Structure 1
Amino acid sequence: MTSETERLLRAAGLDPDQVRRIIENALVEDLGPDGLDVTSTATIPAAQTDTADVVARADGVVAGLAVAAAVFESAAEAIGIGRTVEVSLVAHDGERVARGDVLATVTGPTRVLLTAERTALNLLCRMSGVATHTRAWADALAGSKAMVLDTRKTTPGLRALEKYAVRAGGGTNKRMGLHDVAMVKDNHKFAAGGVAAAYRRVREAFPDVPVQVEVDTLAEAVEAVEAGADFLLLDNMPPAVLAEVVAAVGDRAELEATGGLTLTDAAAVGATGVDYLSVGALTHSSPILDIALDLRTE
């Protein structure tokens, strides 16, 4: 991985070492214990060099170009044929792209380009699909103060990449895991004996950790705020009830609508005055954005 690619990853809020580990594991899936692409090794001379274009096959929002660059660079190191690749990014993460747009070009040993192709595209297509889906939600909320949030419903091992893709698409991130934000949900409330008791226990055990409380009714929302909660998850509430909670809570807490939200209802939910809409589908149900690698023939 080049220093420029590492710089781009850091600028995106990604840890180059974590990205490197993801890529290494993905390449092992393809190359096996012997590190071998049998088709490319058999058909392409080690000395052959080509240029390939990374091309959008559909309209959308691109995300993960530096990650794709890191795949090609890492594959060159893994294959070990003594030569590197040069990646030139044409597009930028977060940009809208159209079918046929060239997003990047890659020049280097042809074996490396074809060996790395699927791993690079798997990550780039996945991340761009998340960014494209997120942008649709952000567009639907335009005109309101509400922002679309992701959740922990991510692909195991790819959370950092998928949450970055949400940011690139115009959304914002919730907690990264169970360690950085406490979230008191229904089972916690039941086990602790109520919303107020659960909130107090978390605050006493971890006084510096942000606490979010899930509530199901207007009464629970008021109880949670009066107990000290300053971030409420309003679970499966219709817009009329959301508006009541907004009126009752005022600016005493940030409010997040969650549960069963759809793009069709996004504008109506945003218009209630909530601060966020939490959408697990951003990461668990986004279709990929179709992107391909085309060797130049001239």
Structure 2
Amino acid sequence: MLPDTLILPVIRAALTEDLGRAGDVTAAACIPATARMRARFVARKPGVLAGIDCVRLTVLEMDPKASIDLRMKDGDAFEAGAVLAEVEADARAFLSAERTALNLLGRMCGIATLTRSYVEAVAGTGARIADTRKTTPGLRALEKHAVRCGGGVNHRFGLDDAILIKDNHVVVCGGVVEAVRAARAHVGHLMKIELEVDGLGQFEQALEMVAAGTGPDVIMLDNFDNAELAEAVKLRRDASLKVGLEASGGVNLQTVRGIAETGVDVISVGALTHSAPVLDIGLDAF
């Protein structure tokens, strides 16, 4: 569950964008100032819930006295027709909040639902599905929360919470050994280091460093085919080394099961956040 303090800035920015310079002129023109209304947020398609607090906070931002009944909690699966929340509020305020609430709720439910599909696709393999930093600017905390609601796990949140040495870092440093050595010399004992490798040659170099106690904590196997992934897993097992293996690059729902069956620990999927379709949720007044 995300704290309200992380969600409110997103909601306020979205409402400010939508209300513009004059506020909701349609509601002001058509709706009596004293009118109140009741409505339900209803799923048009089946899915997994994420972002229900966006509804609560958006409505309360426009009408602090609104009554909100959240019928389900984040992480719950639902069928088409499910009532996710019911609201009674000042009509002008509620209608002004409607689009922001639906935009955020639909976006988050879409991510959670897609993530759940990936998690179910690798069930029983031991592999975990992780997100990436390929998120919508300004929505990262919400989108990564939605991934967790779908059963996935979070990769790093930003550039400051873990070291991830990618191909361009390796080029500038002069090689994987030099890059990892520099990282080890720079960080404290709580900071993890992940190294991206682009082939079995670099992977074997990384394993040698792990064996010597100077290697990364996790090795990312970037765009390896399944045979190469299986070989990497075998090399780690034969060497009896404890280093995490992450598969990344071009993963989709058709390929993810085969990737998981190679024995990797984590599969990172950018599509969870950059390509998730918005889930269709409507607001029905009654």
Q: TM-score, normalised by structure 1?
A: 0.91
Q: Is the CA contact (8 Å cut-off) linking 1:148 and 1:276 kept in structure 2?
A: yes
User: What is the CA–CA distance in structure 2 between the aligned matches of 1:266 and 1:130, rounded to whole Å?
Assistant: 17
Q: How does 1:89-108 map to 2 (within 5 A)?
A: 89-108=70-89
SS in 1 for 2:110: helix
- Residue 49 of structure 1 aligns to which amino acid in structure 2? R
Q: Is the CA contact (8 Å cut-off) linking 1:222 and 1:249 kept in structure 2?
A: no
What CA RMSD, in Å, does the superposition of the two structures yield over aligned residues? 1.1
User: What is the CA–CA distance in structure 1 between the aligned matches of 2:188 and 2:198, rounded to whole Å?
Assistant: 25
User: What is the CA–CA distance in structure 2 between the aligned matches of 1:99 and 1:149, rounded to whole Å?
Assistant: 27
Q: How does 1:206-245 map to 2 (within 5 A)?
A: 206-208=187-189, 209-227=191-209, 228-245=215-232
What displacement does 1:222 show?
2.2
Identity, in percent, stands at 46
SS in 2 for 1:268: helix
1:52 aligns with 2:36: no
1:25 counterpart residue number: 13
User: What is the CA–CA distance in structure 1 between the aligned matches of 2:3 and 2:175, rounded to whole Å?
Assistant: 39
Q: Is the CA contact (8 Å cut-off) linking 1:151 and 1:280 kept in structure 2?
A: yes
Q: Mind listing any 5+ residue stretches in structure 2 that lack a counterpart?
A: 210-214
1:131 counterpart residue number: 112
Q: Is the CA contact (8 Å cut-off) linking 1:153 and 1:280 kept in structure 2?
A: yes
Deviations 1:42-64 (A, max 9, x none): 11112111110000011111111
Q: How does 1:1-298 map to 2 (within 5 A)?
A: 12=1, 14-34=2-22, 36-77=23-64, 84-208=65-189, 209-227=191-209, 228-250=215-237, 251-296=241-286
What displacement does 1:113 show?
1.3
Large movers: runs of 4+ above 6 Å: none
SS in 2 for 1:294: strand
User: What is the CA–CA distance in structure 2 between the aligned matches of 1:144 and 1:95, rounded to whole Å?
Assistant: 23
How many residue pairs were aligned? Answer: 277
User: What is the CA–CA distance in structure 2 between the aligned matches of 1:188 and 1:218, rounded to whole Å?
Assistant: 18
Q: TM-score, normalised by structure 2?
A: 0.94
Deviations 1:199-237 (A, max 9, x none): 111111123321110011122112113221120110111
